[in-house]
A = this chain, B = another copy of it.
Amino acid sequence: MTELEKKGALARKAAMALMTAGTELKNKALSEIAKSVSERKDEILSANALDIKEAEKAGMSKSLLDRLTLTGERIDGIVSSIDEVIELPDPIGEVLEKTVRPNGLEIEKLSVPLGVIGIIYEARPNVTVDATVLCLKAGNAVILRGGKEAFNSNLKLVSVMRDALEKAGLPRDCVAIVEDTSRQSATELMQLSDYLDVLIPRGGAGLIRSVVENSKVPVIETGVGVCHVYVDDAADLKKGAEIIFNAKCSRPSVCNAAETLLVAESVAEKFLPMAKARLDTKNVEIRGCERTAKILGPDVVPATEQDYRTEFGDYILAVKVVSGLNEAIDFVNEYGTKHSEAIVTENKEAAERFLAGVDAAAVYANASTRFTDGGEFGLGAEIGISTQKLHARGPMGLRQLSSCKYVVRGNGQVR
């Protein structure tokens, strides 16, 4: 057995204990985790300081450094997120369906945990706790494999959580971390199908593609969003300008931010300058088609085919003038990543045709794509946004971290 297989076997055993742990015990464990993270703040900050020092030496970019950094305030934020998860309803043990068959068999479809969840993610220590807490609340054990730059922080956080689990009377192995942060260890995790029930990659497009293509464990694909806003012939142009401004600029680095603006040719001459005026306030670079350039002038960078397939994650927007609704729907279905797609129009029929004809996790009429989020949808905390169609689609909350089983009670029935 490799080290990782040993961890897998221990996690599987811990998952069995979690499977039959009730809400009270699970919440007690979460409370202990919150308490321990809070009480051992100094240890955690010291470990994080080691990571930051290394990262600075290695010349890590400012935005990545920011994601790596913990502060007293941020740890308080982590603790209060745990308290919020404690308040959420337990997704496990719910009778989803119930029937009594003509032969007297009583069949219940019951929500149960998934089992052992693997999570591969980047150097963001807050994810270490956030993801673990969600998995535990849904009765799952978890094996974490975080970015190597957060090694010391993660090791400390996991050790704090394991101590807290033990205090609460649950196995320490409900959470484990892969200590080897080489590429090899990620690959090994993808082969761990005897012990993992699902693998969730969180991070950039490259990481996710690699996991989807190489994993033998079932994967939930999260997060890559090349999202569009289409401004229709019948759009309220002022709404359109506000929506594309918000969808692009409110937080360009996240997956539900818009990357491409499509404009119906009948309104392009009027709308594009309005949109540009708003986008200029954030110095958004516009990469446009020929017609966009004709309307907006020399500021426009000519868009390449690749631009329309890129998640910029930055103040850059691809723009294309289209003939109208049909071309917009086809373009979105061809170039989108099935994440979040919006139409701006006052024409109800056009809106409904877009909503029905676009294949994506979330489709919007007259609202920003930025709303695709567990909290905004009223689902509570989320572990990610699924862009695949199996199991979960869109924001993944506690319910999406569960499975089901059929429980059948009889009195001797045979077939």
Chain B CB within 8 A of A188 CB: no
Pick from B359, B406, B410: contact of A365, CB under 8 Å? B410
In angstroms, Cα B356 to Cα A395, docked, is 29
Inter-subunit contact B405/A361 (CB<8 Å): yes
In the complex, which residues 265-319 of chain A have their Cβ closer than 8 Å to any Cβ of chain B?
Answer: none
In angstroms, Cα B359 to Cα A115, docked, is 9
In angstroms, Cα B406 to Cα A372, docked, is 9
Chain B CB within 8 A of A131 CB: no
List the B residue with the shortest CB-CB distance to A355.
B407
Chain B CB within 8 A of A218 CB: yes
In angstroms, Cα B112 to Cα A388, docked, is 13
List the B residue with the shortest CB-CB distance to A220.
B390
Give a binary string over A100-138; 1 marks a CB under 8 Å from any B CB, 0 the rest. 010001010000101100000000000000000000000
Pick from B197, B219, B377, B414: contact of A107, CB under 8 Å? B377
List the B residue with the shortest CB-CB distance to A365.
B409
In angstroms, Cα B212 to Cα A214, docked, is 11
In angstroms, Cα B236 to Cα A239, docked, is 71
Inter-subunit contact B405/A363 (CB<8 Å): yes
Chain B CB within 8 A of A403 CB: yes
In angstroms, Cα B240 to Cα A412, docked, is 8
Give a binary string over A340-372; 1 marks a CB under 8 Å from any B CB, 0 the rest. 000000000001000111011111111110111
In the complex, chain B residues whose CB is within 8 Å of the CB of A377 = 99, 101, 107, 406
Pick from B114, B212, B245, B394: contact of A390, CB under 8 Å? B114
In angstroms, Cα B362 to Cα A197, docked, is 17
Inter-subunit contact B412/A20 (CB<8 Å): no
Known: A19-B359, A390-B390, A414-B242. A367 touches B105 (CB 8 A): yes
In the complex, chain B residues whose CB is within 8 Å of the CB of A245 = 414
Known: A213-B216, A216-B213, A391-B390. A410 touches B357 (CB 8 A): no
Known: A20-B357, A351-B409, A405-B361. A414 touches B220 (CB 8 A): no
> Which of A101, A213, A239, A413 counts the most chain B CB atoms within 10 A?
A413
Distance in Å from the Cβ of A60 to the closest Cβ of chain B? 29
In the complex, chain B residues whose CB is within 8 Å of the CB of A361 = 405-406
Chain B CB within 8 A of A393 CB: yes
Chain B CB within 8 A of A250 CB: yes
List the B residue with the shortest CB-CB distance to A256.
B415
In the complex, chain B residues whose CB is within 8 Å of the CB of A412 = 236, 239, 242-243, 366-367
In angstroms, Cα B377 to Cα A409, docked, is 12
In the complex, chain B residues whose CB is within 8 Å of the CB of A357 = 16, 19-20
In angstroms, Cα B365 to Cα A391, docked, is 28
List the B residue with the shortest CB-CB distance to A330.
B16
27 CB < 8 A contacts A-B: A16-B333, A19-B359, A20-B356, A99-B377, A101-B376, A105-B367, A112-B359, A114-B389, A193-B213, A212-B216, A242-B414, A245-B414, A246-B414, A246-B415, A250-B414, A362-B408, A363-B405, A363-B407, A364-B410, A366-B411, A367-B408, A370-B414, A376-B415, A390-B403, A393-B403, A394-B405, A394-B406
Top 3 A-B pairs ranked by shortest CB distance? A367-B410, A246-B414, A389-B403
Apart from A105-B371, A218-B218, A371-B415: 9 A-B pairs, beta carbons within 8 A: A115-B359, A115-B389, A198-B389, A218-B388, A242-B412, A245-B414, A361-B406, A367-B414, A371-B408
A interface with B by C-beta (< 8 Å): 16, 19-20, 99, 101, 105, 107, 112, 114-115, 193, 197-198, 212-213, 216, 218-220, 236, 239, 242-243, 245-247, 250, 333, 351, 355-357, 359-368, 370-372, 376-378, 388-391, 393-394, 403-415
